[in-house]
Amino acid sequence: MKTAPSIARSLCKLYFIRAGFSITWVIIVALFAKTSPIFATILLLIYPAWDVIGTILDIRANRAVPSKTPQYINLVISGITTFAVAVAIQKGVPEALVVFGAWAICTGLIQLILGLRRRKLLGGQWPMIISGGQSMIGGISFILLAHDTSKGIGSLAGYAAFGAFYYLLAAYRLSRTANPTAN
């Protein structure tokens, strides 16, 4: 059975990987989203698809935790969202942003729940709790502002950047649980 330090080490690694992906995604969005509609479409699909992979890695990191229901729900939601974005983008970027916004609300709620559940065992979950709440607010704003002509996929870059920031903070905080003798 995995101990809290072992789970924390696995999550630290995962959080660093997720932060790195988000930072890379933000940079690519900043460089290409306005100049290449096809590339922008691919980026819209990649983000929720990556969440499927990240969730699978999260499930693997938490094998000893008895209930992984939130992660499995997130896995299904992110998979459906990837497909839904592909369908919605055929109608236009605003429609895809609405789908992305709904996804951000749902996955933010799941992240909030996971952060609250993990804080007792692992501590250091306040960045994930805040990130989950902020994701929900971001999702609402994506839906409300989707049809604003000045918005586009570039508006998602801030969302991903904050996600990277919170993953880095959470990894730092979990490093205290992962290495209790270093504290």
pLDDT digits 0-9 by tens, 109-120? 999 999 898 888
Domain residue spans of the chain = 4-177
pLDDT tens string 138-148: 999 999 999 88
pTM: 0.89
Tokens encoding 121: 């065992």
Maximum Cα interatomic distance, the chain, rounded to a whole number of Å: 55
Q: Pseudo-torsion of CA 123, 68, 133, 173, nearest 10°?
A: 20
Cβ atoms 39, 32 nearer than 8 A: yes
